[in-house]
């Protein structure tokens, strides 16, 4: 098995490293304190090709395989998870889903703008009453002639206040549970759609997370993405691939924690010696390093399976489960290496821990990943 990078993949990684060091790293603390990433980053992400990775060139995509996509999301995660999330959602959950399930008209209408960073997408699945149990969502889309009228609300929507289009999941038939759910592409300037920014998040403070409320939002029937009643399976297939980019972002967090811990341990002296010379500090650092490697290998395996056209869903759940839990452990261990300074936001590790914490919650909690893995192994569904 060859774990080396091709020339193209190595070049994409260098491009991403340079982008993070130039466009993100200098602003991370200020964006976190201001609770807002500078919006110009979206256009910059488009210009450098990161919002078009793996998309077909005829729709404005920049090509690349899934390992290249992993490398970019890993680097963005190293820089700022708030920025990484912009890409994971707009490209990973929205554009790639439009490419996979959209009509020619939908692809031409949205993909070139999304890939260029001239438009941003968000993914509207979670509701106030349904998170893990997304198949029981309550938002309704009622057919009225050649339109649908949508009513309901969506909770915790990444990119929500910035997005130009929401990939929205709503119940359009009376079929029970997830069988009645369909997917729609709803422009966010459609009358009746309002958005409220959610403030006070523990981490990802720079990210525009929102609640969406839909009151008699009317869209043409052609706004439906994919067949009627297939919305839930479209959402699940989007999330299965999405878990790879969350896992890659977590590898980035873990790598940043390792870099910070090694750097600080080498500079800080106590009892007349570098703290790096103490075995208990080395234990903290080596635990981080092993987690970084294990999380990265699990994540790259998912990319490899996708690129070879093989079944990847269970591997993606394993990678997301391991990498997200590892990111929390790594950031926490790094904070320990920093001592009291780790608790202050002038130093990077506190933010890494706050940002890491959500990774075990969204795109399927750790418990839900275990149920998915357990179902694949036993053939019995626990939910
Ligand atoms: C910052 C942020 C950004 C987000 N972005 C998006 C987005 O862009 N789009 C979107 O649609 N959603 C988004 N989400 C929502 C996220 O996906 C949900 O929060 C997540 O799926 C969990 O749902 P919940 O919060 O309702 O928790 P619940 O489902 O209520 O779960 C609560 C607890 O119960 C456990 N639990 C639930 N069911 C079971 C079970 N069957 N067995 C064992 N344990 C169980 C869970 O693991 C968890 O520990 C975001 C959330 C956050 C915090």
Q: What does the block give as tokens for 318?
A: 């394993």
In whole angstroms, give the CA distance from residue 124 to residue 96. 15
Q: Which residues line ligand 1 (CB under 6 A)?
A: 89, 122-126, 131-132, 156-158, 201, 204, 209, 358, 361-363, 365, 367-368, 371, 383
Mean pLDDT of the 186-202 span: 97
Please provide the average confidence, as pLDDT, over all residues in the chain. 97
Mutate to test the pocket of ligand 1, among 362, 366, 380 (most ligand atoms within 8 A of CB): 362
> How is residue 6 annotated by DSSP?
P
Mean pLDDT across 221-248: 97
Q: Which residue has the tokens 């450098």?
A: 48
Residue entry with tokens 């341990």? 265
* Residue 1 in this model has a pLDDT that exceeds 90: no
Does pTM top 0.95 for this prediction?
Answer: yes
- Tokens representing 14 are 């260098």
In angstroms, what is the span from residue 126 Cα to ligand 1's centroid?
Answer: 8
pLDDT at 382: 82
Q: SS3 for 42-70, per residue?
A: HHHHHHCCCCCECCCHHHCCCECCHHHHH
The distance of Cα 288 from the centroid of its chain, to the nearest Å, equals: 22
- The pLDDT of 196-209, averaged and rounded, is 97
pLDDT at position 8: 95
CA atoms within 13 A on the CB side of 200: 2
CA of 365, closest atom in ligand 1: 47
Q: Which ligand 1 atom is the nearest neighbour of the CA of 130?
A: 26
Instruction: Identify whether the C-beta of residue 284 lies closer than 8 Å to the C-beta of residue 261.
Output: yes
Say what the pLDDT of residue 2 is. Answer: 80
CA distance 263 to 245: 27
Residue nearest atom 4 in ligand 1 by C-alpha distance: 156
pLDDT of residue 3: 86
> How far apart are the C-alpha atoms of 79 and 28, rounded to whole Å?
8
Closest CA to 291 of 245, 249, 258, 242: 258
In the chain, the N- to C-terminal Cα span, in Å, equals 36
Spatial separation of the C-alpha atoms in residues 157 and 125, rounded to whole Å: 8
Best substitution site from 82, 129, 132, 232 to test ligand 1's pocket, by max atoms within 8 Å of Cβ? 132
User: Among all residues, which ones are annotated catalytic?
Assistant: 363
- For the cut 90, the answer to whether the pLDDT of residue 374 exceeds it is yes
- At 383, is the pLDDT very low, low, confident or very high (cuts 50, 70, 90)? confident
Instruction: State pLDDT tens for residues 248-294.
Output: 999 999 999 999 999 999 999 999 999 999 999 999 999 999 999 99
Predicted confidence (pLDDT) per residue in 327-369, tens digit = 999 999 999 999 999 999 999 999 999 999 999 999 999 999 9
Which of 126, 162, 209, 356 has most ligand 1 atoms within 8 Å of CB, for mutation?
126
């Amino acid at each position: 098995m060859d774990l080396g990078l091709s020339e193209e993949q190595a070049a994409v990684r260098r491009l991403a490293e340079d982008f993070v060091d130039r466009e993100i790293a200098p602003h991370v603390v200020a964006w976190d304190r201001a609770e807002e990433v500078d919006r110009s980053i979206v256009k910059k992400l488009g210009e450098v090709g990161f919002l078009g990775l793996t998309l077909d060139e005829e729709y404005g995509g920049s090509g690349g395989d899934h390992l290249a996509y992993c490398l970019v999301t890993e680097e963005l995660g190293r820089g700022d998870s708030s920025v990484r999330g912009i890409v994971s959602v707009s490209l990973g959950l929205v554009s790639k889903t439009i490419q996979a399930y959209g009509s020619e008209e939908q692809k031409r209408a949205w993909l070139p703008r999304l890939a260029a960073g001239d438009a941003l997408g968000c993914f509207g699945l979670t509701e106030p009453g349904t998170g893990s149990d997304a198949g029981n969502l309550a938002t309704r889309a009622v057919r009225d002639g050649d339109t649908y009228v949508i009513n309901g609300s969506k909770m915790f929507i990444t990119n929500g206040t910035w997005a130009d289009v929401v990939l929205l999941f709503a119940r359009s038939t009376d079929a029970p549970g997830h069988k009645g759910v369909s997917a729609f592409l709803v422009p966010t300037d459609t009358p009746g759609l309002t958005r409220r920014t959610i403030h006070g998040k523990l981490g990802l403070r720079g990210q525009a997370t929102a609640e969406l409320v839909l009151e008699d939002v009317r869209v043409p029937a052609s706004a439906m993405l994919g067949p009627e009643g297939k919305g839930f399976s479209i959402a699940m297939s989007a999330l299965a691939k999405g878990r790879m980019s969350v896992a890659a972002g977590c590898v980035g967090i873990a790598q940043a924690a390792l870099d910070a811990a090694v750097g600080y341990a080498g500079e800080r002296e106590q009892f007349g010696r570098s703290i790096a010379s103490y075995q208990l500090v080395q234990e903290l650092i080596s635990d981080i390093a092993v987690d970084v490697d294990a999380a990265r290998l699990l994540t790259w395996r998912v990319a490899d399976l996708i690129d070879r056209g093989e079944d990847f869903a269970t591997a993606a759940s394993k990678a997301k489960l391991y990498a997200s839990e590892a990111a929390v452990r790594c950031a926490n261990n790094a904070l320990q290496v920093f001592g009291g300074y780790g608790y202050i936001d002038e130093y990077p590790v506190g933010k890494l821990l706050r940002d890491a914490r959500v990774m075990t919650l969204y795109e399927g909690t750790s418990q839900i990943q275990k149920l998915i893995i357990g179902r694949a192994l036993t053939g019995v569904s626990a939910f």
